[in-house]
Amino acid sequence: MGGDVDLLRATLGQVTEVDLMAGPETTVVAPATDAYPRNSEGDIAVLRDGRLLLVWTRFYGGRADDAAAEIAGCLSQDQGRTWSEPFVVQHNDAARNVMSASLLRAGNGDLLLFYLRKNSWSDLKAVVRRSGDEGESWGPETVVTPEPGYHVMNNARVVRLASGRLLAPVASSSEALGEREHYLSVCYLSDDDGLSWRRSAGQADVEKRGAMEPGLVELRDGRILMIIRTQLGTIHRSYSDDGGETWSAPAPSGVAAPEAPATIARIPSTGDLLLVWNNSMNLPPPHGGRRTPLTTAISRDEGQTWGCMRDLETEPEHAYAYTSVTSLGDLAILSYYDAAASRISLRVARVPIPWLCGE
pLDDT of residue 18: 56
Average confidence (pLDDT) per 10 residues, the chain, 359 residues: 44 50 90 98 98 98 97 97 98 98 98 98 98 98 97 98 98 91 98 98 96 98 98 96 98 95 97 96 67 97 97 95 96 97 95 89
CA 112, 113, 117 angle in degrees (round to 5)?
A: 140
pLDDT of residue 282: 67
Select the CATH number that applies to the domain covering 5-356 from these four: 2.40.100.10, 2.60.40.420, 2.120.10.10, 3.55.50.30: 2.120.10.10
pLDDT of residue 320: 97
The answer to whether the CB of 206 falls within 8 A of the CB of 235 is no
pLDDT of residue 342: 85
Parse the chain into domains and list their residue ranges.
Answer: 5-356
pLDDT of residue 283: 60
Local structure of 5: helix, strand or coil: helix
Q: Residue 8: what are its φ and ψ, rounded to 5°?
A: -65, -45
Task: Kindly report the pTM of this predicted structure.
Answer: 0.93
pLDDT of residue 17: 53
pLDDT of residue 199: 98
The answer to whether the CB of 169 falls within 8 A of the CB of 187 is yes
Distance CA(139)–CA(113), nearest Å, equals 10
